[in-house]
Structure 1
Amino acid sequence: MLDRALVDGLFPSDLPDPSHWEQRYPARELADGAEVTRFAPSPTGFVHIGGVYTATIAKDVADHSGGSYFVRIEDTDQSREVEGVAAQFDRAFEYFGIASEEPVDGPYGPYLQSAREQIYLSYVRELMREGKAYPCFATRDELAEMTKRQQATKVPTGYYGSWAVWRDADPDEVAAKLSAGDDYVVRFRSPGVQAGRVSFSDAIRGRLEHEANRNDVVILKSSATSPRLPTYHFAHAVDEHLMGVTLVIRGEEWISSVPLHLQLFEALGFPAPRYAHVAPLMKQDGGSKRKLSKRKDPEASVDFYVDAGYPSEAVLYYLRGLANGRLAETPLDQALTEPIRLEECGVAGPLVDMVKLADISGDHIATLSGPTVLDAVAEWAAERDPELVTVLTEHRELAERAIDVERVGVDNPRKDLVRWSDFRSIYGFFFPPLFTEVTDASDERFGGLDASLVRKLAADFADNYAWADDQPTWFAQIRELAARHGFAPNPKTYKADPDSYPGVLRDAANAIRVAITGATRSPDLHAVCGALGTEEVLRRLRALTP
């Protein structure tokens, strides 16, 4: 074991002892059964929707137990930090309601690991004083060569046992290296042995058994860097203890790390929290399933949902249903408040089905009032479609009439609006600034009708047009228009003598629909014209006249 004075000389002279931090972060006062959970993303890439899924579970468990939930940014790997990710974190946390319940200046902060350097150094120094950690001067090339020799002799790779050359190095040799200013990392002196096993309880999976950790892992990164930050594993142990986390809810990829984490908790003299490892979100890929991939799948990114404008309530409802199947069978408003139960979370990764999410989103939007939908669209469009915001503001009354078409006063309201980004393509034709008038009577949308006939239909309909609240009365105008211009009243009549007619009633009605809406398919034309108003209907019809 190294001399205490030598160890202490590696750290700032004013570095507090661990007792200082124990007093600074006293144990939380919690009611029986209350859980403290956290979401701990790393700014090394965009937020995965699986992160929102895990955070949703963590927050829900804390809230329903009367505990606390917070967000801790794990930014110790600063070499891989991606620019702009912090802003994305803020967007995601706000959009999906998974922001920290504890203020940034709360009693258990700071909540940014890079701002907790002194805390980690205190505990690293303490482990070194106790001989539970040591400096290692092995270079990258030396470690690579060691791995080659391990592979050649078919032994497990890693830094352990006799392969851990600096584990029991002569103190004088270590002192000489330090005196020379050689770069080093600090490694944990693992108590594990090769082929050892450890068992632990998981709140989702029950009793698990795993290979014990035998490696002397790095707990403090290179001495050549500043600030000196810990590795994930060491920061995890220190932070969960000092921040009072009782239940660590995280992805199943961390199960293999539990043996190491338990060793670190024991070495530090901390009680270990409970663990719950969530199965990853999956995707159907041909005949098999795979993990939802950041690299392959755009829907893996939280920005995909925010930018497309999926209502957060719909996405959260869907995710909660993936976590607990019973919530998928519960009405949305109720499912968003019902507790998620860890014992009901499956151990097989749930399949993300975007078609199902679209159905849920469409169903949800169909239940919202027109003003609520328009406000949500405007909020979404504020940063993505400024022109649409202006249109909705300047034509608010028209927008409210348009959004009610086939939504109000019908047994089965339309559900084609699934994302706020779809609003322009679905409803844009209602608004004069967004509508491109149809002026070419030979346009293919008229189904091959003679251009001169199309113009005559538009002019005649405009000259005789009169609004009627009653749909059959209103549509009678189109029947009469078609008859005046020689269209067959029905397909049977047309088929009997096709040369005698330019088309059927449906073709004449389509010409009017295209002139007014710009499309061959639209919501009920009577309702559309009612929303547009007579003046706008006539303006669009006359755009086709010579």
Structure 2
Amino acid sequence: MLDRTLVDSLFPTDLPDPAFWEERYPPRQQPAEAKVTRLGPSPTGSLHLGGLYVATLNADIARRSGGAYLVRVEDTDQAREVEGAVEQFDRAFAYFGLQPDEHGETGSYGPYTQSQRAMIYQSYVRELLRRDQAYLCFATKDELAAITAQQQAQKVPTGYYGTWALWRNASAEEVRAKLDAGVPYVVRFRTPAEAANQRVHFVDAIRGRLEHEASRNDAVLLKSSDQDPRLPTYHLAHVVDDHLMRVNLVIRGEEWISSVPLHLQLFAALGFEPIEYAHVAPLMKQDGGSKRKLSKRKDPEASVDYYIETGFPAEAVLHYIRGLLNGRLADTPFTEALDAPLRLSECGVAGPLVDMVKLMDISADYVATLSGAEVFDAVRTWAGEYDAELATVLAKERDLALRAISVERDGVDNPRKDLRVWSDFRTAYGFFFDDLFQPVTDPSDERFGGLDPAVVRALAADFVAGYQLVDDPQEWFGQIRELAAKHGFAKNPKEYKKNPDAYPGSIREAAQVFRVAITGSTRSPDLHAVASALGTPEVLRRVGSLR
């Protein structure tokens, strides 16, 4: 055991004792049943969809219980930190309405960034060293690699423990010699000796009673002394932070289940009350005949940025996520699903599959419930960030945009659902706007289905000469029927099929000429509604381009 003077010499002279931090961060004044939850994203990349998935559960459970939901940036792995990641977290939480109750500069239990809490962790590490529950380790990378190789050769569990822990039982003189020589060291937890033969039982709020081997490994608590700032590992940092921030429910991914035995040992060593854990199943993806975890490296849809940049309505994504968390909400109407409480008892232990086809359908259904003005505002906001040209067009042509959006939407039982995400707007509605529409001028264009270009020109010329915009759709389409008959088209596809050599086509092919001329596509919403929204001058200009 190192003497207190030596231990204290390793830390700043003004470092407070743990009692200072206990007083600085007192227990919260809240109802007994209140849950304080946290999300701890690491700024090593953009937020994973799984982060949004867990954040949704954290926020709902905390707020419904009268507690608080906080976000703590876990940036102790600074070598892998990605610039702008923290700002991306904020952007993502804001887009989906999941801003935490405490984060950044908001809240009484901060700082909420671990790199700014170095002094706090050092206080607790020093205390563990004073009590001989931690020790200095000077093992080199080569020595650690050699230990692992020997363990693998002997087919024993790998790790730094027992007789394999070179510095666990070093004398004070050996330690002092290394310190005097300026050799870098880490601080390791002195795992209780009895842990080697113990089993640990704990209750998971989702999975029930679990049993694991106790942790035998002397885990690193404080990283190498030659690093500045000197930061802890996740294991120590989260235990200290969750205690001082008075978190009482930790919801995290199932990959952390194996770490619970170590974390329980740390709680006991530090004299903290253990925290309730809930380990959620990971989001999965179908990959051929098998399933695997959704991966940001392989799957664009794994990043929350994908949903923001593509323009998924936040409500649609949240509805879908809530259905993944609690299956009863998957087919529940939007308002009800978004308002319903989430329950840990209803979270499955098998990873749910992320099905983008289903999410697109949900998104289309949601957009179909919105008014034209709501769609316009949402698309314009999205375009302002991700499509500058479209944003300019919408700002200039608001009335036309609202008329376009109303086509097959207002006053119908089954509104069109070709607008699923805001980035679909160009495809679904872009042809309404001169700045986005390229007129079809070539009568031999393949979109006319191989009709004789002379026939296409003649149809267009006669249309322009006698066109009238009338309110009745059937009467309006009657103009096209008359032109088709005049130019020898069969009155229906069945008649044309009986004797194809007798006609240039059927009424279907004739109508296609005007559909392509007006919309640039062989498929479009109701043509009369489109023509009404565009107005007569624009319809004549477009069809007239074929003459």
Same fold per superposition (TM over 0.5) = yes
Instruction: Find the counterpart in structure 1 of residue 542 from structure 2.
Output: 540
Measured against aligned partners, the alpha-carbon deviations of 1:386-405 in whole angstroms (never above 9, x if no partner) come to 11011111111110000010
Structure 1 residues 209-248: aligned runs within 5 Å:
209-248=211-250
Q: Which residue of 2 aligns with 1:297?
A: 299
Q: What does the per-residue CA deviation read over 1:471-492, in whole Å, with 9 as the maximum and x for residues that have no partner?
A: 1111100000101111111223
CA deviation string 1:8-29 (max 9, x = no partner): 0000000011111001000111
Deviation, 1:494, is: 2.2
Q: Are positions 1:180 and 2:181 aligned together?
A: yes
CA separation in 2, counterparts of 1:329 and 1:435? Answer: 38
Q: Deviations over 1:419-466 (max 9, x none)?
A: 101101110001111100110011000111111111111111111100
| Cα separation, 2, equivalents of 1:74 and 1:496 | 73
State the partner residue of 1:86: 86
Deviations 1:279-317 (A, max 9, x none): 001111112211111211111111111110010110000
Q: Counterpart of 1:529?
A: 531
- The residue identity in structure 1 corresponding to 2:271 is G
**Whole-Å separation in 2 of the counterparts to 1:241 and 1:493:** 81
Give the C-alpha shift of residue 83 in structure 1: 2.1
Q: Secondary structure at the match of 1:193?
A: helix
Q: 1:255 to 1:103 in 2, by over 3 A?
A: closer
* Cα distance per residue 1:170-189 (max 9 Å; x no partner): 11111111122110000000
The structure 2 residue matched to 1:320, chosen from 319, 322, 325, is 322
Aligned partner of 2:435 in structure 1 is: 433
Distance 1:293 1:94 in 2: 23
Q: Is the 8 A contact 2:368 2:417 kept in 1?
A: yes
Any residues of structure 2 matched to 1:322-337 within 5 Å, and which? 322-337=324-339
Q: Which residue of 2 aligns with 1:151?
A: 152
2:319 aligned partner, one-letter code: Y
DSSP-derived class of the 1:336 partner: helix
Q: Tell me the amino acid that sits aligned with residue 434 of structure 1.
A: L
Distance verdict in 2 for CA 1:365–1:399, change over 3 Å: same
Unpaired stretches in structure 2, ≥5 consecutive residues: none
Which residue number in structure 2 is paired with residue 285 of structure 1?
287
1:46 alignment counterpart? 46
CA shift, 1:103, in A, is 5.1
Q: What is the CA–CA distance in structure 2 between the aligned matches of 1:544 and 1:195, rounded to whole Å?
A: 86
SS in 2 for 1:210: strand
Corresponding residue for residue 99 of structure 1 = 99
Whether contact under 8 Å (2:71, 2:103) holds in the other structure is: no
Deviation (angstroms), 1:97: 1.9
For residues 250-277 of structure 1, what are the alpha-carbon distances to aligned partners after superposition, in whole Å with 9 as ceiling and x for unaligned?
0000000000000000000000110000
Letter of the 1:199 partner, please give it: H
Q: Give the whole-Å Cα distance in 2 for the aligned partners of 1:201 and 1:5.
A: 41
The equivalent of 1:408 in structure 2 is: 410
Q: TM-score, normalised by structure 1?
A: 0.99
CA RMSD of aligned residues (A): 1.0
Match of 1:159, as an amino acid? Y
**Residue number among 465, 469, 486 corresponding to 1:467 in the alignment:** 469
SS at match of 1:93: helix
How far apart in 2 are the matches of 1:384 and 1:493?
49
Provide the residue aligned with 1:110 in structure 2: 111
| Structure 1 Cα separation of the partners of residues 68 and 508 of structure 2 | 63
User: C-alpha separation between the residues in 2 aligned to 1:364 and 1:255?
Assistant: 37
Structure 1 unmatched ranges of 5 or more: none
Contact map agreement 2:221 2:232 (CA 8 A) in 1:
yes
Q: Could you list the per-position Cα deviations for residues 47-83 of structure 1 after superposition, in whole angstroms to 9, with x for gaps in the alignment?
A: 1101100111011100111100010000000011112
Measure, in 2, the Cα distance between the counterparts of 1:190 and 1:500: 93
Counterpart selection for 1:354 from 333, 353, 356:
356
The reply on whether 1:509 has 2:506 as its aligned counterpart is no
> Does residue 58 of the first structure (1) align with residue 53 of the second (2)?
no
- Counterpart of 1:417 in structure 2 is 419
What secondary structure, in the 3-state scheme, does the structure 1 residue paired with 2:54 have? helix
Aligned residue for 2:195, secondary structure, equals coil
- Partners in 2 of 1:278 and 1:396 — Cα distance? 45
Aligned letter for 1:38? R
* Inter-partner Cα distance in structure 2 for 1:380 and 1:482: 43
CA distance in 2, matches of 1:496, 1:35: 74
Give the superposition deviation at 1:496.
3.5
Q: Is the 8 A contact 2:104 2:113 kept in 1?
A: no
